[in-house]
Chains A and B, each alone.
Chain A
Amino acid sequence: MGFLDTLLGRTKPVQPKLDDLFALPSAAVTLDAGAGFKPTGSGSVCFRPVEGRSFSDVQKDVQELLNSSSHAEGGLPVEVSKDDYGFNWLVSSRMSDELEALVTDLHAVNSSLVDNGFGPQLLCTLVAFRDEQERRLALIYLYKRGSFYPFAPLSGERRDNALELQIKGVIGDDLKWEQDLARWFPVWGAPGM
């Protein structure tokens, strides 16, 4: 925030960075080769809903847009769910080998929200992975920072920190990682995990 904004007590809302998401498909290849995690085909966008008709209209439009494109390709409809913290998750499910299409879907959601002026409401995007031992992993993309971090939940709201750090090492420079570990916030009960 600029000096003048601070002085005058104005917060400029942070706009999201959208394009780094497209690094995911190539990173997924490295992840599979290095650690054996494959995408489950599920990805979601998490955003803060705004009160009022305007936002709910935009949300409905986005949902229809995604449904029409996925229906045309024989895919599953998009679901919207609400979490305990009042955030909405738009979950898209694709076949597990269609990661590029999934990422394009997620990018379409982001762009629609941004185009309608709701960019600052975007929180994160989550893409789910699983390995042969059924361990769950999500790669979470923080829009405001333009960076990724891994999230490996265990039962009972615990995290497998060792696995997360291992995944970061395995994927290495293929993704832009969030350097500040304090920002790797957990998303317990995220849909699609």
Chain B
Amino acid sequence: MAARTRYAPDRGLTVRMTATMFLLGVVFVAFIAAIIGIGTAYGASSTAIVFFAVILGGGFAIGSLFYSDKIALATAGAHEVSPTDSPEAARLHGIVDRLCALADMPKPRVAIADTDMPNAFATGRNADHAVVCATRGILRRLENDELEGVLAHEMSHVAHKDVQVMTIASFLAIIAALLVRIAFYGELFGGGRRSNDSNAGVVMLALMAVSIVVYAVSFLLIRLLSRYRELSADRSGALLTGRPSSLKAALVKVTGDMARIPTRDLRTSQPLNAFFFTPAAHLSASSSKLANAFSTHPSLERRLAELDKVQQQLGRTAG
């Protein structure tokens, strides 16, 4: 007698996310092909540059992946806490304990960031090296069940290895950006083609143009992917806690408060945007399509609508 499941995956979201990752892959392949094309037309030196940029870019990507937890904690000014440190720490640990038992995940390190801005994040390359952090601001503002929804969302990011996925996706953009820089500042093309100065200039321009286009396209695709990952984390978090409406309430509370915080604080938290529960900056209150395209997180309305779907799915009566 097989148990019925209420946890059917959201096929639409899966299809859209797969398409985005596929497009990123296509852009990557087109980029390499263009570089190789330019390189073979004008000599072999450009492939050496690409090789160098890939190694450098790969080095950055791998380094940031392995140290993501330390980097994130240091940037947020967060400190690891144990359950006996304070009532806040005990409350946070209690919630994390139960979520880990429900999700069968090893328990991550728990940290609290000393800021009144309400936010939470979790980072780490996999579940064994993860850290989950909540700010004092969010601990103060949210009830236990709302906080639990937020933490479940964050831990879903860890379970889905989002740090790895986004790092790999950003790999291409890093390389394209590096190539633009190298082509602009270095004279590797000019140095290798003494007799053909005009050709060297054209090659450099072509390389820069391709890199800029690639960077722009992959930037938008990466933002799109980030939004889909956020929706996945919302969904998984709501399914884990069984209370989509608590997560909705938390979203509304946190987003409303964030909009009132002065810009001085928001700018200092920019680098961590991709990991935060809600982005630290809003481009406009009336989410225009353009503002949305650049955002790492889906709009509040979109997130609430997706959570409505989860609620219906959980509430399906036996039949």
Binding site for B on A (CB under 8 A): 1, 6-15, 48-55, 57-58, 84-87, 114-121, 123-124, 142, 144-145, 157, 180, 182-183, 185-186, 188
Please indicate which of the listed interface residues A10, A54, A123, A182 has the most CB atoms of chain B within 10 Å of its own CB. A10
Contact-size category for B: 35 or more
B240 CB, min distance to chain A CBs, angstroms: 7
Best-surrounded residue of A87, A114, A120 (most CB of chain B within 10 A): A120
Do B104 and A144 have beta carbons less than 8 Å apart? yes
With A11-B156, A117-B4 given, is the CB distance from A85 to B95 under 8 Å?
yes
Q: How far is the CB of A50 from chain B (nearest CB, A)?
A: 4
Please give the distance in Å from B129's CB to the nearest CB on chain A: 14
Residues in A with CB closer than 8 Å to B21 are 7
Q: Bound complex: CA of A8 vs CA of B17, how far in Å? A: 7
A–B complex contacts, Cβ < 8 Å, 30 sampled: A7-B21, A7-B165, A9-B160, A9-B232, A9-B236, A11-B160, A12-B7, A13-B5, A13-B7, A13-B240, A14-B102, A14-B104, A51-B311, A52-B315, A54-B317, A55-B315, A84-B94, A84-B144, A85-B144, A86-B243, A117-B318, A120-B7, A120-B102, A120-B239, A121-B242, A123-B98, A144-B102, A185-B98, A185-B101, A188-B94
List residues of B (229-285) whose CB comes within 8 Å of A's CBs: 229, 232-233, 236, 239-245
Given contacts A51-B242, A85-B148, A15 and B3 within 8 Å (CB-CB):
yes
Interface contact B165-A86, CB-CB below 8 Å: no
Q: Does B107 contact A (CB under 8 A)?
A: yes
**B186 interface residue, CB < 8 Å from A?**
no
Task: Indicate if the CB atoms of B318 and A9 lie closer than 8 Å.
Answer: no
Interface contact B98-A53, CB-CB below 8 Å: no
> In the complex, are the beta carbons of B315 and A54 less than 8 A apart?
yes
> Nearest residue in B to A145 (C-beta to C-beta)?
B104
Asked if residues B311 and A52 are in contact (CB atoms below 8 Å), the reply is yes
**Bound state CA distance, A124 and B9, in angstroms?**
26
Bound-state Cα–Cα, A96 to B221, Å: 63
Residue-wise interface mask of B (34-50) relative to A, using a CB-CB cutoff of 8 A (1 in contact, 0 not): 00000000000000000
Per-residue CB contact flags for chain B residues 81-102 toward chain A (1 = under 8 Å, else 0) read 0000000001000110110111
Of the candidates A53, A119, A144, the one whose C-beta lies within 8 Å of that of B315 is A53
Residues of B within 8 A of A124 (CB): 101
Is there a chain A Cβ closer than 8 Å to B121's Cβ? no
Bound-state CA distance A58–B4 (Å) is 14
A51 CB contacts on chain B under 8 angstroms: 242-245, 311, 314-315
Q: Are A144 and B148 in contact (CB under 8 A)?
A: no
Are A182 and B102 touching (Cβ within 8 A)? no
B141 at the interface (CB under 8 A from A): no
Residues of B within 8 A of A9 (CB): 17, 160, 162, 165, 228-229, 232-233, 236
